[in-house]
């Protein structure tokens, strides 16, 4: 039986909270992520997209590097053929790290559009701020990896702006950025980012970055909103924690009669961020949680108090020198790490 047939009652998309971007456009405040990690096939992701649309999702977060846009595109084509209008959907894709070259940005976007069977994207993000070639694992440093250099990033961003001018994308944004990098981009951009996508969950709340993004009129989209229990082994370290196992989250879940993962989703939406959880089985419960009874102010305060500053997606593979640790990617001291 397909996920669409297992999914249960339809949830009216009009009941889902919306985020208003600085352009005036609105984006559903919860989306379905499509990163299948190492254990969900492209076909399963595509089936989840069909099922999620059937229960009321209208926001889908994609990326070329996920390796499934061709299959997801077939699902989107089916969804649109079924009577849902294109303007009802919000589709995001992302420029991968090896496509930052000025001659690569537009072609990469066109490839995603072709795979997704769309005429335009609602949002296109620079997936990571620094260039990195494909084919390296976390145990090796690539000789061709490059650190963040603002002048180089701006060359990429100018091509992102050109995508808007060409009508291929309606909004552009950033992902995995830091405050010092965003400050430079906001200073120099002709078209400012509409969104910054970042890791956000109860054990990694990133309050300084979150509040900075909001203060600049940029929407915060949060990946790993439940702590990414299915993330690849390469992204796991012994000190990682699981927000869905936190006693505070578990107690709130018991009180509301919902799964701890749904508590994390509810917290995210009520805090003001846009979570994009991926699931092949529980996407309806996540959506229902967003439109159900809210967490109380006291419960929101309790969750705010369990932040452990525990980054789960550390990005070690993108380091550019042998003697570095993952913290160098994230400018943890408030300044861009030197080349």
Catalytic hit among 66, 124, 148, 153: 66
The sign of the torsion formed by the CA atoms of 232, 321, 180, 186 equals: negative
- Strand-pair category, 123-126 with 32-33: unpaired
Beta bridge partners of 169: 121
**Bridge partners, 26 (sequence order):** 20
309 Cβ neighbours under 8 A, 6+ residues apart: 203, 204
Is 66 noted as a catalytic residue in this protein?
yes
Start-end of H helices in the chain: 3-6, 42-55, 69-81, 105-116, 150-165, 179-188, 207-215, 247-256, 260-271, 283-291, 297-304
On whether the CB atoms of residues 61 and 14 are closer than 8 A, the answer is no
Residue 188 exposure: Cα atoms within 13 Å on the Cβ side: 15
Distance CA 165, CA 159 (A): 10
Handedness of CA 208, 164, 21, 278 (dihedral sign): negative
For the chain, the straight-line distance linking the first and the last C-alpha, in angstroms and rounded, comes to 52
Residues ≥6 apart with Cβ < 8 Å to 283: 3, 7, 32, 48, 51, 52, 55, 57, 277
- The residues annotated with a catalytic role in the active site are 66
């Amino acid at each position: 039986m397909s996920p669409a047939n297992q999914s249960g009652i339809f949830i009216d998309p009009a009941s889902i909270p919306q985020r208003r971007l600085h352009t005036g456009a609105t984006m559903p405040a919860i989306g379905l992520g499509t990163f299948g990690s190492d254990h969900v096939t492209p076909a399963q992701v595509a089936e989840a997209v069909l099922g999620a649309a059937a229960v009321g999702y209208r926001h889908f977060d994609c990326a070329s590097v996920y390796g499934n846009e061709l299959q997801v595109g077939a699902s989107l084509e089916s969804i649109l053929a079924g009577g849902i209008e294109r303007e009802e959907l919000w589709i995001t894709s992302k420029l991968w790290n090896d496509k930052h070259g000025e001659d690569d940005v537009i072609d990469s976007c066109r490839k995603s559009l072709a795979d997704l069977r769309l005429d335009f994207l609602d949002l296109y993000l620079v997936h990571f701020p620094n260039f990195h070639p494909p084919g390296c694992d976390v145990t090796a440093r690539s000789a061709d990896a490059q650190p963040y250099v603002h002048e180089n990033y701006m060359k990429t961003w100018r091509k992102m702006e050109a995508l808007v001018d060409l009508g291929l994308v309606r909004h552009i944004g950033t992902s995995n950025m830091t405050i010092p990098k965003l400050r430079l981009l906001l200073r120099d951009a002709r078209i400012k980012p509409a969104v910054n996508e970042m890791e956000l969950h109860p054990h990694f709340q990133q309050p300084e970055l979150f509040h900075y993004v909001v203060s600049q009129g940029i929407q915060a989209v949060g990946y790993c909103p439940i702590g990414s229990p299915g993330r690849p082994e390469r992204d796991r370290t012994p000190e990682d924690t699981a927000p869905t196992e936190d006693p505070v989250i578990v107690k709130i879940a018991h009180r509301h009669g919902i799964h701890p993962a749904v508590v994390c989703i509810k917290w995210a939406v009520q805090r003001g961020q846009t979570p994009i959880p991926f699931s092949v089985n529980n996407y309806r419960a996540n959506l229902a949680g967003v439109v159900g009874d809210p967490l109380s102010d006291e419960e929101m305060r309790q969750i705010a108090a369990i932040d452990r500053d525990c980054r789960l997606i550390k990005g070690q593979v993108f380091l550019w020198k042998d003697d570095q640790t993952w913290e160098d990617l994230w400018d943890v001291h408030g300044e861009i790490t030197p080349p």
